[in-house]
C-alpha cells in the first residue's frame, strides 16, 4: 500500500527542548513527534520533516511539518490521536492529506517571525520564558529607521551566526516592523522574509535594540551590510522571545506580501 503524506501545523512551547531538530544533547520537538507516531503505528519508524529548525527555547505558533504514514487515516483522527500522545507543550493545530510531492521545507516560499520584548521595570515571572526583559528608555524613531533599512534584498552575513552552513547569505526581507502593546507593555517585532539564516532574527533584534538604546546609530545597518562580519553586529537576543508565527506556501505568500506592503 502506498504511504499517505500528511501536512500538519504544529504549535510548541520551546522552553523544555534543545530545538526542533533531533540532537544528542537533549530532547527535541522532532523526537517527540516521531515518538508519538511510532507509538500510534506500533513501532513503525516515521521520519518527520519540518519547514526549518528552531533553536533551544524558541517557540512556534505555526511550524509546518510533513510525514508519510503507512495507513490512510482521516486527518481529524490523526490530529486527535497525536495530540492525545504528545506532551502538553506540543500541539497539532491542523492536519491534512497532501500529495507525495509536497515538502514542508523545499516548497516554503517565506516565513513570518515575531520577537517579544518585555518593557516593564522588573521582569514578570510569568513572562520570563516567553519574552526578553529590556526595561530601558528607547528612541523609537531610531528603531524605525533601523528596521526600514533591513527591508529589501541584502547580503546578511553580518546578521548570521558563524555556525551557519549556508554559503549564500543573500535573502529578501519584506517586512521589518514593530508595535507597542500597551496592555502588556511589550515591544513586538515582526519580520517576514523569503528565508532566514541561522540566528538572523535574533541578531536583528539584538542590533536594533542597541540602536534604540542609543548605543549605535541607524546608519550602522548600512555599514554592517558592507563589512559582512558577524562580529560587527549586535548580540544575539535570547531564544525565549522568538516565535515562528507562520510558514507561507504559494498563494499564501502572495497574500502575506500584499498585507505587509500595506503596513
Enumerate the active-site residues: 55
DSSP 8-state class, residue 55: B
Residues 112 and 190 sit within 8 Å (Cβ to Cβ): yes
DSSP H/E element including 261: helix 251-261
Helices (H) and strands (E) in the chain, counts: 6, 10
Cα–Cα distance, 55 to 45 (Å, whole number): 24
Q: Which residues contact 137 (CB under 8 A, 6 or more apart)?
A: none
If we measure between CA atoms, which residue out of 81, 237, 115 comes closest to residue 188? 115
Q: Which residues contact 74 (CB under 8 A, 6 or more apart)?
A: none
Cα–Cα distance, 201 to 187 (Å, whole number): 15
Cα–Cα distance, 192 to 180 (Å, whole number): 18
Residues 11 and 61 sit within 8 Å (Cβ to Cβ): yes
Helix residue ranges, H only, the chain? 29-40, 75-85, 140-150, 200-212, 220-227, 251-261
Amino acid at each position: 500500500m502506498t504511504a499517505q503524506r500528511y501536512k500538519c501545523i504544529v504549535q510548541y512551547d520551546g522552553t523544555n527542548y534543545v530545538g526542533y531538530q533531533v540532537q544528542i544533547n537533549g530532547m527535541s520537538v522532532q523526537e517527540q513527534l516521531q515518538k508519538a507516531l511510532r507509538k500510534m503505528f506500533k513501532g513503525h519508524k516515521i521520519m518527520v520533516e519540518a519547514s526549518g529548525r528552531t533553536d533551544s527555547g524558541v517557540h512556534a505558533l505555526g511550524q509546518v511539518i510533513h510525514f508519510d504514514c503507512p495507513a490512510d487515516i482521516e486527518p481529524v483522527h490523526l490530529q486527535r490521536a497525536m495530540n492525545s500522545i504528545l506532551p502538553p507543550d506540543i500541539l497539532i493545530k491542523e492536519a491534512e492529506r497532501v500529495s507525495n510531492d509536497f515538502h514542508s521545507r523545499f516548497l516554503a516560499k517565506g516565513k513570518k517571525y515575531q520577537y517579544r520584548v518585555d518593557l516593564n521595570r522588573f521582569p514578570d515571572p510569568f513572562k520570563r520564558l516567553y519574552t526578553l526583559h529590556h526595561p530601558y528608555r528607547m528612541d523609537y524613531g531610531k528603531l524605525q529607521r533601523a528596521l526600514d533599512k533591513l527591508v529589501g534584498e541584502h547580503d546578511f552575513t553580518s546578521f548570521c551566526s558563524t555556525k551557519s552552513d549556508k554559503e549564500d547569505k543573500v535573502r529578501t526581507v519584506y517586512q521589518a516592523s514593530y508595535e507597542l502593546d500597551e496592555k502588556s507593555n511589550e515591544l513586538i517585532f515582526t519580520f517576514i522574509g523569503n528565508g532566514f539564516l541561522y540566528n538572523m532574527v535574533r541578531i536583528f533584534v539584538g542590533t536594533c535594540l542597541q540602536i534604540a538604546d542609543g548605543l549605535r546609530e541607524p546608519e550602522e545597518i548600512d555599514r554592517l551590510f558592507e563589512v559582512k562580519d558577524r562580529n560587527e553586529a549586535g548580540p544575539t537576543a535570547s531564544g525565549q522571545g522568538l516565535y515562528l508565527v507562520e510558514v507561507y506556501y504559494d498563494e499564501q505568500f502572495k497574500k502575506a506580501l500584499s498585507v505587509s506592503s500595506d503596513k
